[in-house]
């Protein structure tokens, strides 16, 4: 099975459709599948739902799809740093399904494991619990959360071999593994594709069985919030 493609557009060929649910990895600006997001923007598909921790910033990450009005709904846990997101949400142009961060990650992981739902205490007694089934276990109340089964997963990793085994670097190993698991098809972009057999099996974070298509590309290194201290001699 061929997994390595020449570009993001080639890797997404035949996979995109209006109204689909896409699970995207990344945390803040770290580990964002930026090349695949640019290709999705350029494809012109619309009415998309994204399951992603956040929506990037105005000109990077999912933010570029908000600018072009291609996103209908976000399933997220953090929506700061993005003025266009805020504007669309407050004006009623964008649907938003808030998820506690751990719940969102577990919803993705559950979907990847074929688990349709699970109970959690997180969110009990808050707006998160509204309209959800409540159940008591050992005297404690839990709410039912549904697993996420996405039409497509897009993730970004550090290294891969040509079979799709992935290694993530530091913080990029955040929502990427569970996001990759929960899609019917997973497309990954990586900084480097190495020869088969060169990755230590103990260092592989996501087995290639979850990855269907793969590209290598150049990636931008951004800092979401640059914090510096004043020079002592200033």
- The reported pLDDT for the residue numbered 80 is 74
Confidence of residue 1 (pLDDT cuts 50, 70, 90): confident
CATH of the domain at 158: 3.40.1080.10
According to the model, what pLDDT value does residue 62 have? 94
Q: Decide: helix, strand or coil at residue 84.
A: helix
Per the structure, the complete domain to which residue 196 belongs is given by 8-116+150-216
Summarised one tens digit per residue, pLDDT across range 30-62 is 899 999 999 999 999 999 999 999 888 888 899
Q: Rounded to 5 degrees, what are φ and ψ at 48? A: -85, 150
- Classify residue 6 by its DSSP letter: S
If one counts the domains in the chain, the total is 1
- Does the residue 79 lie in any domain? yes
In a domain, 103, yes or no: yes
Query: Any residues with CB less than 8 A from the CB of 199 and at least 6 apart, and which?
Result: 159, 161, 165, 167
How buried is 171 (Cβ within 10 angstroms: 0-12 exposed, 13-18 middle, 19+ buried)?
exposed
234: pLDDT strictly greater than 70: no
Mean pLDDT of the chain: 94
Confidence of residue 233 (pLDDT cuts 50, 70, 90): confident
In a domain, 136, yes or no: no
Determine phi and psi for 163, rounding to 5 degrees.
Answer: -90, -5
Q: How far apart are the first and last CA of the chain?
A: 60
Give the per-residue pLDDT at 219: 82
Whole-number percent of the chain with pLDDT over 70: 99
> 6: pLDDT confidence band, cut at 50, 70 and 90?
very high
In a domain, 229, yes or no: no
Largest interatomic CA distance in the chain: 61
- Could you please report the per-residue DSSP string of 72-119? EEEEES---S-HHHHHHHHTTSSEEEE--HHHHHHHHHHHHTT--EEE
Over residues 164-182, mean pLDDT: 95
- Average the pLDDT over 206-227 and give the result: 87
């Amino acid at each position: 099975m061929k997994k390595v493609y020449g570009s993001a557009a080639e890797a997404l060929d035949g996979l995109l459709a209006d109204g689909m649910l896409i699970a995207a990895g990344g945390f803040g600006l770290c580990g964002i599948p930026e090349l695949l997001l640019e290709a999705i923007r350029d494809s012109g598909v619309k009415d998309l739902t994204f399951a992603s921790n956040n929506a990037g910033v105005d000109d990077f990450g999912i933010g570029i799809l908000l600018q072009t009005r291609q996103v209908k709904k976000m399933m997220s846990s953090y929506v700061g740093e993005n003025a266009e997101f805020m504007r669309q949400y407050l004006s009623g142009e964008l649907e938003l399904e808030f998820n506690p961060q751990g719940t969102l990650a577990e919803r993705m992981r559950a979907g990847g494991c074929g688990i349709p739902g699970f109970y959690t205490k997180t969110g009990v007694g808050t707006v998160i619990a509204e309209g959800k089934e409540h159940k008591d276990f050992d005297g404690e109340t839990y709410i039912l959360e549904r697993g996420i089964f996405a039409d497509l997963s897009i993730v970004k990793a550090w290294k891969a071999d040509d079979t799709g085994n992935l290694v993530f670097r530091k913080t990029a190993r955040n929502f990427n593994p569970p996001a990759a698991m929960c899609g019917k098809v997973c497309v990954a972009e990586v900084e480097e594709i190495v020869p088969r057999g060169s990755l230590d099996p103990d260092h592989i974070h996501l087995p290639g069985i979850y990855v269907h298509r793969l590209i290598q590309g150049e990636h931008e290194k951004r800092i979401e919030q640059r914090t510096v201290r004043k020079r002592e001699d200033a």
